[in-house]
Amino acid sequence: MPVKQDISLKPYNSFGMDVNARYFAAFDTADSLLEILSAFKQLPALVLGGGTNLLFTRDIDGLVLKNEISGIEKIGEDEEFVFIKTGAGENWHGFVEYCIAHGYAGVENLALIPGAAGASPMQNIGAYGTEVKDVLFELKAMHMHDRVISTFTNQACEFGYRDSIFKNKYKGQFVILDVTFRLRKQPQFNTTYGAIRQELERMGVQDLSLRAVADAVIHIRQSKLPDPAVTGNAGSFFKNPVISQEQFNSLQKQFPGIPAHTSNNAIKLAAGWLIEQCGWKGYRKGDAGCFNKQALVLVNYGSATGADIIALANEITGSVEKKFGIKLEKEVNII
């Protein structure tokens, strides 16, 4: 695949940051990736999927690689599960729609999450009570320096809340090539988290189906999240903080209305609520802002820079820490 020079990355990141890459190339097979890496072995490389979970703050004086490995196929099944392999460059929502159309259950709560399928395990994407770790079987990835392709099982990915081994120990070292999911033949619907049940009632759904659950999730997301094609953003900018029961009890005395969700003997707070209580929802300074329908989302209204977004994020985290004693962590990858 041809390697281009001095390319604007604005079309390749959902925040719409107009930064340049010294070199840029797309790959659609492991062999084409190997060819490019071998030709540019002395340069640092950054891999892009959908570019939906990152914020560029500078030009990239190196090689940017766009993952375009495609293809979805069933590679096995047993009485209870099917095993579906997808190329890492496939659009995630497109993959979800494929699964729904074929009756494969497990990812319907993750509908309309932007980005590429290969990025889903890196971030352990999640929504409405479901995470990728719940359905991922294994993935294949190439080491960027020794060029060896390895298979990572679910356990080997070391998943955490919006976290995996690829964000920590192996950050920047591997390129995910394909991901295999283990999905159910018979659905086990999860409609207890967030507003899914209320949305299903509003839709008049009598009999649950994969399509109905996905449509409910899509309606909810569209009602409160900005479309990156219209307003630059990377979805949730901050993680929902996880705290101890003791800390929550103390906060609840001060703030009786504080919403929380219990998960694995820990308390997960709603970062958007904390931010909103500090008065940031709908705030705008220049072209950097906090979205008016969901305070968890920072937006670029046109010409904001990465530095503008970071400055706003730091102001927000400072005010939340001052008011609640909680330091928010960024979910977006800062580059």
Residues catalogued as catalytic: 162, 236, 331
Q: Which of 313, 316, 293 is nearest to 304 (CA)?
A: 313
Closest CA to 180 of 30, 103, 75: 75
Decide if 87 contacts 70 (C-beta within 8 A): yes
H or E element that contains 201: helix 196-203
State how far the Cα of 315 lies from the Cα of 288, in Å rounded to an integer: 12
Q: What are phi and psi of 202, to 5 degrees?
A: -60, -35
Work out whether strand 60-67 and strand 20-27 pair parallel, antiparallel, or are unpaired: parallel
| Phi and psi angles of residue 68, each rounded to the nearest 5 degrees, phi first | -125, 30
Token pair 């929802």 is at which residue? Answer: 281
The token duo for 40 is: 């540019």
Q: Give the whole-angstrom CA distance, residue 156 versus residue 154.
A: 6
How far, in Å, CA of 268 to CA of 128, rounded? Answer: 13
**Residue 268 bridge partners (DSSP):** 242, 261
HSE at residue 117, side-chain half, CA atoms within 13 A, is 32
